[in-house]
Structure 1
Amino acid sequence: MITDTQIERWLREDLGMNDVNNKISGSTTGQVVVKESGTIAGVDVATAVFEYLDADVTQHVSDGDVVDEGDVVVTVEGVISALLRAERVALNLLGHASGIATKTSKAVCRAREHNPDITIAATRKTTPGLREIEKHAVVAGGGDTHRLNLSHMVMVKENHISEMGLEHAVEHFQERTSFTTKIEVETETYEEALIAADTSADIILLDNFSPNEIERVVEDTDPSVILEASGGITVETVDEYANTGVDVISMGSLTHSVNSLDVSFYTGDIPAEL
């Protein structure tokens, strides 16, 4: 849920001390247009930015829709100075979210060609202040949010294991969490993964395992334990990991290494050649 406070902060950051660029009188109609194909996300966020400055907005697509070059995302009507003030903030958020959705969709499609049941998930490697938008964009692209914050799940990581030992660490958190809270253990070797699978953990994270190593763990663990692969996996290599039989592939690159989708704002006629 995007708040007015967030929008005001974004707009103030862009406005600076004295904006003379947008001091134009009168009203107009403008359109946000896609300049390359992809999966759209952030439509409601862009709409909220324009509406915050009293523009009337008509949405032509929804988050998760596949768009092509020249497609109109939203049409806005309002005071020229207000539309121009909202333009860059709205486009930045829309383009960024759509870039994430597009990359996620590519990863999901490629992985499911090899494993129709695979889940492609994001991580907590998000931009501070934009996590909600970025995680929503992952969902728009067909992915899974993974945990939204630290309270959603316990992750027993290498530092926990170093301090307490794997089995003791799982027991420690099991005693302190609700029955509704899942526990995931991050492992770095085949042997460690098997030890974790014998605890009460719900999910085993295979961190930086090769596809061959993952296949070995899949063969030697109970199918009831969820296995997640992570660590440097890209859209180009995701199919190799999907073939292993792992349940989940989490990819930090979905949010931390993404190109924004190219979108522009036009008042008047849209150029024939974008």
Structure 2
Amino acid sequence: MLYFSDQELDAFLLEDAYRGDLTTRTLGINKHMGKMVFKRKHAGRVAGIEIAKALLIKLGLQPIVHIEDGEDVAPNTVLIEVEGKAEQLHMGWKAVQLVLEWSCGVAQYTAGIVAQVKSINPHAIIACTRKSIPGTRKLATAAVLAGGGHIHRSGLSETILVFTNHRNLCAEPNNFKQQISQLRQQAPENKITVEADTLDHVAAILKGAPDIIQLDKFTIEQVKQSIIQLAQSGLPTILSVAGGINISNAKQYAQTGVNLFITSAPYYAEPEDIKVIITPI
């Protein structure tokens, strides 16, 4: 579970209902009592339930949750139902629906790509990057976890990852050994990851013996060559593959023997269809 503050929940609600529901108010039905049901139209992975529940509670409602985040459901499964005044239901309707649709889409894609790599290697890990759609990173994190994925790094402060753009500003940009030594001295509790843009970079980075070498946009053949270089070095360094990993090619990359795959593809998955029905009571 990820904690969403009142401020974050308010932002979701205020984006759509900053002055209430004009239609409900004008029809004069704002005090009428109703029941709202959220159903997942197609079979698959569920995510966004905890946030959806919190949003409805913020509106003074008491939702009944039938499915937990991370579960797989059959078509037309009821996820949440809630009773209340029409003004409360309509203010929560679209905000909750959108959270569920987008979250389920991300979780579904994540579950799919995880299944792809694990069908080849049960120890393979799919980790999602911080390249999420702006404003959705925390929501995306919850959805990725519900899909069985991991988080590569949620922000700059979490892990050490040396990119070429970092090295370009160093006095000796290609002195990997010196850079890695400095990082180990200054941050002894952190693992050191260095990104490689070419096979030549892999050979040079290995001289510094980092914990992880992240292969950026490497072809499958280049990944295989990198594995050979690593084996010849005898180092405990591990390889990760990033850039271009998606549900259509993840299985092929997993066949190389690499265990760690970095991707942002789930964030751009098609949202799942969440049907919302409001009826009088």
Question: Is the pair's TM-score, using the shorter chain for normalization, greater than 0.5?
Answer: yes
Question: 1:48 is aligned with what amino acid?
Answer: A
Q: 2:162 aligns with which of 145, 148, 156?
A: 156
Could you tell me how far apart the structure 2 residues matched to 1:116 and 1:18 are? 49
Q: Which moved more, 1:230-239 or 1:6-15?
A: 6-15
Q: CA deviation at 1:223?
A: 6.3
Total equivalences in the alignment: 267
Could you tell me how far apart the structure 1 residues matched to 2:255 and 2:245 are? 13
SS in 2 for 1:163: coil
Whether 1:138 and 2:144 are equivalent positions in the alignment is: yes
Q: 1:258 aligns with which of 269, 272, 276?
A: 269
Q: CA deviation at 1:238?
A: 0.6
Could you tell me how far apart the structure 1 residues matched to 2:125 and 2:8 are? 31
Within a 5 Å distance, the mapping from 1:121-270 to structure 2 comes to 121-164=127-170, 165-166=173-174, 167=176, 168-177=178-187, 179-221=188-230, 222=234, 224-255=236-267, 257-268=268-279
Q: Which moved more, 1:14-23 or 1:117-126?
A: 14-23
Could you tell me how far apart the structure 1 residues matched to 2:69 and 2:21 are? 32
Residue number in structure 2 paired with 1:46: 52
Could you tell me how far apart the structure 1 residues matched to 2:19 and 2:57 are? 23
Whether 1:90 and 2:96 are equivalent positions in the alignment is: yes
Whether 1:107 and 2:113 are equivalent positions in the alignment is: yes
Could you tell me how far apart the structure 1 residues matched to 2:204 and 2:169 are? 17
SS in 2 for 1:111: helix
Question: 1:171 is aligned with what amino acid?
Answer: S
Q: Which moved more, 1:163-172 or 1:185-194?
A: 163-172
- The list of structure 1 runs, each at least 4 consecutive aligned residues, that deviate by more than 6 angstroms after superposition, is none
SS in 1 for 2:112: helix
Deviations 1:62-91 (CA, angstroms, capped at 9, x unpaired): 111112221000111222211110111111
Query: Contact 1:156 / 1:169 at 8 angstroms: preserved in 2?
Result: no
Question: 2:67 is aligned with what amino acid?
Answer: V
Residue number in structure 2 paired with 1:9: 11
Gaps of 5+ in 2: none
Query: Contact 1:186 / 1:206 at 8 angstroms: preserved in 2?
Result: yes
Q: CA deviation at 1:18?
A: 6.3
TM-score, structure 2 normalization: 0.90
Could you tell me how far apart the structure 1 residues matched to 2:152 and 2:24 are? 41
Q: Please tell me the root mean square deviation across aligned C-alpha atoms, in Å.
A: 1.7
SS in 2 for 1:150: coil
Deviations 1:134-171 (CA, angstroms, capped at 9, x unpaired): 01211111111111211110110011222322413323
Q: Which moved more, 1:161-170 or 1:131-140?
A: 161-170
Query: Contact 2:110 / 2:144 at 8 angstroms: preserved in 1?
Result: yes
Identity of aligned residues (%): 27
SS in 2 for 1:56: coil
